[in-house]
Structure 1
């Protein structure tokens, strides 16, 4: 029987297949993980906001990066925590679309911010004398707004187009809602042509983001080869960025692999791949920046010791 959008009021998430004996333990670990994500990201955000010496482009971008981590995890953790204690895993139609929008825009915003951070490092190392004129506060603000608004526009358009589709099933074989999975539920594949066009436009845009990051670091590495000072700056400020980029790429590849070949894997492995993108980067990024950037590490340690 075919259902249209007016009849599909709820989606059933079928990715969570564990016995009640393990749910309390997994709920506890998930809650601890979420609290830790909030703690480390908020710590960096507050540190950067309160310290006027950190009101520089690199730290402003890092603050935005952590804010995006909180935004993305908020679209995932509260719902999965609720599901772990519920016998039936249901999400409303509108709630599913909102979750799909939040998670997809979080991923794209992460890549946009990583691209702006790569540009910032390129200017700082390759054009140091012009750094403050190029990376002015006004330009940084524009770049930050672009990093947020462009994913919101692209993903928002896609979600609006998805909301017009006629769906034949309310069952989503995943722990959370993803626009790609919702599209597979469409009764008529021809109806998703507009969605596919928007998706392909987004892929092209973010492919150029990736190429720009590669281009930036080609020049950065070329500049650092013959300069001890630039090599020290590279190790101090570029290594955290490259680590964040590597974490992002690995988790994205895991998720793509899971969506393409997940049916051949056990449910446990599928779940791990599905949540990797929403757990690892928001935890690892602030930790790595906090340990690697001396000014942030000293500031946090200074606050800790003052309290003691």
Structure 2
């Protein structure tokens, strides 16, 4: 780390001077972070303790909820520290750790959503073969592979960035982003790092899962057009939460990608910060909400725990 640069920290310039409002923002962020942890943990515990939820789809959901906690933790604690800080500095070490955590969170989220779309495809298009194709053992292996591959892939991506020397220190974000850190490099030859960023981050991490999701839903739609009303209703009930989660996360990531490469000063600062936090705050709150209230088995067990009883008419 010492050989890569004489610069020891970066400055996250998007925070600016918010005066005494920083205490209000800190409190709101802390409350939302606690809610994210509680909501996701509650569903993880319910899936773990209820034998009737030890099914492939719920194992995927459990992985999704664990990743949502991981993703919000990748940003929000640092965000709270920066809100109260006067300088908004972040050391190179913590910056690289944050890049690693954020990128692995995004990759795991997309890949989990992608494999969940395949689960829905088999359930709707090949219902008689579902139990032989989607087994608990295979699901456990796939989840483990998703996490391991994502960590290795992002580790390789980050290894190129760590070796660079940096001349700039200002990152116009609320967190560290690999693409913006690369732009601060002193080296004129960063093409390999950019190529690795595009291939590992954009192509393998985002585009490939989205193409796979699109393919599975085209198959599901083609089957539903010829299916009975009962099959269409089943497909609608099981696919809507998944589609909402996908569209929400795609929107969050699309904005983050656009904001890294284009001037977004026309957008009010407060709105820019909220949109940048969307993937790490709104998405981890949305997933337990839509799956907890929409999926019958989870909703039934939540009622037993009296968690959503007041939400029912």
Question: Aligned partners of 2:84 and 2:156: how far apart in 1?
Answer: 34
For residue 11 of structure 2, give the secondary structure of its aligned residue in structure 1.
Answer: strand
Q: Which moved more, 1:202-211 or 1:7-16?
A: 202-211
The equivalent residue for 1:248 is 249
8 Å contact 1:254–1:276 — kept in the other structure? no
The equivalent residue for 2:191 is 193
8 Å contact 1:291–1:297 — kept in the other structure? yes
Question: Aligned partners of 2:262 and 2:274: how far apart in 1?
Answer: 14
Q: Does residue 80 in structure 1 map to residue 75 in structure 2?
A: no
Question: Mapping of 1:148-163 within 5 angstroms?
Answer: 148-163=147-162
Superposed displacement of residue 270, structure 1? 2.7
8 Å contact 1:223–1:230 — kept in the other structure? no
Q: Which moved more, 1:117-126 or 1:247-256?
A: 247-256
Question: Mapping of 1:75-114 within 5 angstroms?
Answer: 75-114=74-113
For residue 91 of structure 1, give the secondary structure of its aligned residue in structure 2.
Answer: strand
Question: Aligned partners of 1:164 and 1:30: how far apart in 2?
Answer: 34
Aligned equivalent of 2:299, options 297, 302, 305: 297
The equivalent residue for 2:280 is 278
Superposed displacement of residue 199, structure 1? 2.4
Question: Aligned partners of 1:18 and 1:91: how far apart in 2?
Answer: 17
Question: Mapping of 1:1-308 within 5 angstroms?
Answer: 5-190=4-189, 192-202=190-200, 203-205=202-204, 206-225=206-225, 226-265=227-266, 266-304=268-306
Superposed displacement of residue 100, structure 1? 0.6
Question: Aligned partners of 1:183 and 1:42: how far apart in 2?
Answer: 36
- Say if 1:128 and 1:214 are closer, same or farther in 2 by CA, change over 3 A: same
Instruction: With the length of structure 1 as denominator, give the TM-score of the two structures.
Output: 0.93
Q: Which moved more, 1:281-290 or 1:198-207?
A: 198-207
Query: Deviation digits for residues 216-244 of structure 1, max 9, x if unmatched?
Result: 11111122222222212212211100000
8 Å contact 2:5–2:164 — kept in the other structure? no
Superposed displacement of residue 139, structure 1? 1.3
Question: Aligned partners of 1:217 and 1:161: how far apart in 2?
Answer: 36
8 Å contact 1:70–1:282 — kept in the other structure? yes
Superposed displacement of residue 4, structure 1? 6.9
Superposed displacement of residue 263, structure 1? 4.3
For residue 20 of structure 1, give the secondary structure of its aligned residue in structure 2.
Answer: coil
Superposed displacement of residue 261, structure 1? 2.3
For residue 177 of structure 1, give the secondary structure of its aligned residue in structure 2.
Answer: coil
Question: Aligned partners of 1:111 and 1:15: how far apart in 2?
Answer: 27
8 Å contact 1:101–1:159 — kept in the other structure? yes
For residue 248 of structure 2, give the secondary structure of its aligned residue in structure 1.
Answer: helix
8 Å contact 1:119–1:213 — kept in the other structure? yes
Superposed displacement of residue 77, structure 1? 0.8
Query: Deviation digits for residues 159-186 of structure 1, max 9, x if unmatched?
Result: 1110000110222221111111111101
Superposed displacement of residue 283, structure 1? 0.8
For residue 304 of structure 1, give the secondary structure of its aligned residue in structure 2.
Answer: coil
Q: Which runs of 5+ in 2 are unaligned?
A: none
For residue 5 of structure 1, give the secondary structure of its aligned residue in structure 2.
Answer: coil
Q: Which moved more, 1:29-38 or 1:166-175?
A: 166-175
